[in-house]
Amino acid sequence: MTDPIFTYELLKDFSFSIFKKIGCTDEEAELATEVLLKADLRGIDSHGIARLSGYVRLWDKKRVNSQPAIRITHESPSTAVVDGDSGLGLVVAPRAMEIAIKKAQVAGTGWVAVKNSNHFGIAGYHAMMALPHDMIGIAMTNASPLVAPTFSIERLLGTNPIAVAIPALTQPPFVADFATTTAANGKLEILQRKNQKAPIGWVQTKTGLPSTDPNEAKSGGALIPLGSDREHGSHKGFCLGSWVDIFSAVLSGANYGPWVPPFVAFLDPPSDPVGEGIGHFFGAMRIDAFRPADEFKKHMDNWITRFRSAKTIDGEERVIIPGDPERELNELRLKDGIPLNPKVVEDLKALGGRFSVAF
Amino acid sequence: MTDPIFTYELLKDFSFSIFKKIGCTDEEAELATEVLLKADLRGIDSHGIARLSGYVRLWDKKRVNSQPAIRITHESPSTAVVDGDSGLGLVVAPRAMEIAIKKAQVAGTGWVAVKNSNHFGIAGYHAMMALPHDMIGIAMTNASPLVAPTFSIERLLGTNPIAVAIPALTQPPFVADFATTTAANGKLEILQRKNQKAPIGWVQTKTGLPSTDPNEAKSGGALIPLGSDREHGSHKGFCLGSWVDIFSAVLSGANYGPWVPPFVAFLDPPSDPVGEGIGHFFGAMRIDAFRPADEFKKHMDNWITRFRSAKTIDGEERVIIPGDPERELNELRLKDGIPLNPKVVEDLKALGGRFSVAF
């Protein structure tokens, strides 16, 4: 059985209406919708419209403020700290990235740490905002603790993704966007739905043993940092996840490590917060603060072309340049529509019912 | 048989004398020595005095300029591109990091891309230069191609390390410094010397098959990006290595990807360079460009303490905070001396003989 398909326009209108119903301004409902649906278009289905009802449940609990007064609380020529005022991360994050871009226009680079925010959708969206300005974009965020550091059985880090977007001239941009764990949580959710096993190295049991059960994190187990085990460099994945946590939250004054509030509304945030909300970190670097942009972009074309044409292992089709599959899917789904899991459809119908918005 | 032990002072005097003999100024011979020996002190033996004769062989071939005119070729308030004039990376890199720190003092952050340089020792040294200034330090470099992108059999990337150093208040700093491959090349060299096998996931054969032979890269095989295989996220390690390559070399105008000149003097650089020398990238971020430094550092203490005290898997002693093992070894080796492999001792004796410097 194949999943039902919906047009981008239909999902856009629906999402916009829901964000309006919880009190967002037109402009912010549109922005939140664009960020949210970029995940569906690019095939990161776990972070798209499937999460819409989750955001609404956080709003129900007053953990999301639909009319935030987003403001800079501290700044220097190339930096700022932004207080998201508990707004939707889908709105706070692009606002913060805009500030990074403005700083870069003057100072060469701009770096913005954000506190008091919520889940921001896909990191890639925000990093890619830099591209039309001939800038390199960087985005990262911390997230609810699901990941155990190497040698530990405690969940102290989120899947803490990093995105880096780099423009080219005639080639499409280089866009890396990945969780700093062996596998993103969304990949485990897919296995859970299909009742399939996970490869060894993705999760561990509550006592830290290797496991193939994609549900381990629900029964005290944990996800594993990129690398899978110590022998294969999981301590490096732990370094990366820590780096994201510290830049996103210790620099900004958000909650870090095990204090990060859970995304799911049925779990309460820790009662002893060490900061405000969750944290993000954004960077924008103007290419011509280093060398003429066209010169750089010509070399990026050369870089991309050389790597894409690399000789492959027998049976493998091609070397994948980061961002290629997502961009191709984006084009396809804009044309042919977006498939949604029947459970997601049901959930959206219920959400529409509650707010008298047709789905 | 245990390796012979040498005092830090003895190695320092020897290294200083050799750098003087090839024409470095007093100041630069001292700096190069300090950077080089930091690797031995911190236990990254592959990057320390064992490489001294390698640097000299590059000087013999006129690929290292011992009296470089290091200069800024392009800048903005928070950025600079530095031309290393073919100098020792051991000298060019700390000079570039000083520029990043100076930029950060004024603009909040400083970012320096370097071209026309050589191997810079351990990335951690340069990142840690930021710490006494209450700044976060970042250092990365590209390197001779040894690593195959996911799905490829071609060696297109170096082991491209990243270092991030973050200050704390009463706790020692967080210092991550790691190759973006499953295992650093130095770890393979240790296995080669001991005639031991590598775990599956570290290297592949020339046709891209999994292998346990640590010598694979010498017979057409390759090292593998962090993650080990596609299922365990090697495409993420590929993203990281690419990111380092592009920041270090495409931003600066150095050689990138397969065009990076080899460190070993017996292999000639490619005849069709796309830039100058090898490239590095440095960053310095002033903590108080984001929030008061003491406030940040108190939270770093809390972060470090919480993670260090995390419950461990049965049989594991503790969660290791990045930088802990290297700092502990540094203290020990300053006190008790530095063990050197007999082959390295022989090599240094020959080097001393050539320049009439006693070892």
Q: How many CB atoms lie within 10 A of CB A342?
A: 10
CATH T-level topology, domain B5-182+224-289: Ribosomal Protein S8; Chain: A, domain 1 (3.30.1370)
3-state class of A121 per DSSP? coil
pLDDT of residue A1: 65
Question: One digit per residue, pLDDT tens: chain A, 359 residues?
Answer: 689 999 999 999 999 999 999 999 999 999 999 999 999 999 999 899 999 999 999 999 999 999 999 999 999 999 999 999 999 999 999 999 999 999 999 999 999 999 999 999 999 999 999 999 999 999 999 999 999 999 999 999 999 999 999 999 999 999 999 999 999 988 998 899 889 999 999 999 999 999 999 999 999 999 999 999 999 999 999 999 999 999 999 999 999 999 999 999 999 999 999 999 999 999 999 999 999 999 999 999 999 999 999 999 999 999 999 999 999 999 999 999 999 999 999 999 999 999 999 99
Give B76's contacts in chain A (Cβ within 8 Å): 107-109, 286, 289
> What's the mean pLDDT in B144-172?
98
* pLDDT, tens digit, 9 for 90 and up, residues B37-91: 999 999 999 899 999 999 999 999 999 999 999 999 999 999 999 999 999 999 9
Could B77 and A290 be called an inter-chain contact, meaning their C-beta atoms sit closer than 8 Å?
Answer: no
Is B244 in contact with B140 (CB distance < 8 Å)? yes
Residue A278: its H or E element: strand A278-286
- Packing angle of the helix pair A52-60, A8-21 (nearest 10 deg): 0
Q: How many angstroms separate the CA atoms of B145 and B255, rounded? A: 11
Is B204 in contact with B222 (CB distance < 8 Å)? yes
**B26: number of CA atoms within 13 Å, CB side?**
0
Give me chain B's average pLDDT, please: 97
pLDDT of residue A215: 95
Burial class (CB in 10 A: 0-12, 13-18, 19+), B162: buried
* Chain B nearest CA to A6, separation (Å): 30
Q: Which residue of A has its CA nearest to B181?
A: A233
Q: Are strands A174-178 and B210-211 parallel, antiparallel or unpaired?
A: unpaired
> What's the mean pLDDT in B104-115?
98
Domain with CATH 3.30.1370.60 in chain B: 5-182+224-289
Whole-structure pTM value: 0.98
> What's the mean pLDDT in B119-130?
98
Domain with CATH 3.30.60.50 in chain B: 183-223
Residue B68, token pair as written in the block: 């470089």
Q: What are phi and psi of A351, to 5 degrees?
A: -65, -45
The CATH code of domain A183-223 reads 3.30.60.50
> What's the mean pLDDT in B177-194?
92
pLDDT of residue A193: 82
Q: Which residue of A has its CA nearest to B75?
A: A289
Chain centroid to Cα B306, Å, comes to 29
Nearest to A139 by CA among A152, A151, A122, A154: A122
Question: Does B184 contact A at CB distance below 8 Å?
Answer: no
Please, where are the H alpha helices in B1-62? 8-21, 26-42, 52-60
Please, where are the H alpha helices in A61-184? 89-107, 123-128
Residue A158, token pair as written in the block: 């989120």
Residue A11, token pair as written in the block: 């999902």
> What's the mean pLDDT in B325-352?
97
* pLDDT, tens digit, 9 for 90 and up, residues B295-308: 999 999 999 999 99
Question: Does B291 contact A at CB distance below 8 Å?
Answer: yes
Q: Which residue of B has its CA nearest to A208?
A: B313
Could A313 and B151 be called an inter-chain contact, meaning their C-beta atoms sit closer than 8 Å?
Answer: yes
Chain centroid to Cα B141, Å, comes to 7
Q: How many CB atoms lie within 10 A of CB B324?
A: 16
Which among A207, A243, A275 is the nearest to B314, CB-wise?
A207
pLDDT of residue B1: 66
The residue ranking higher by pLDDT, B194 or B148, is B148
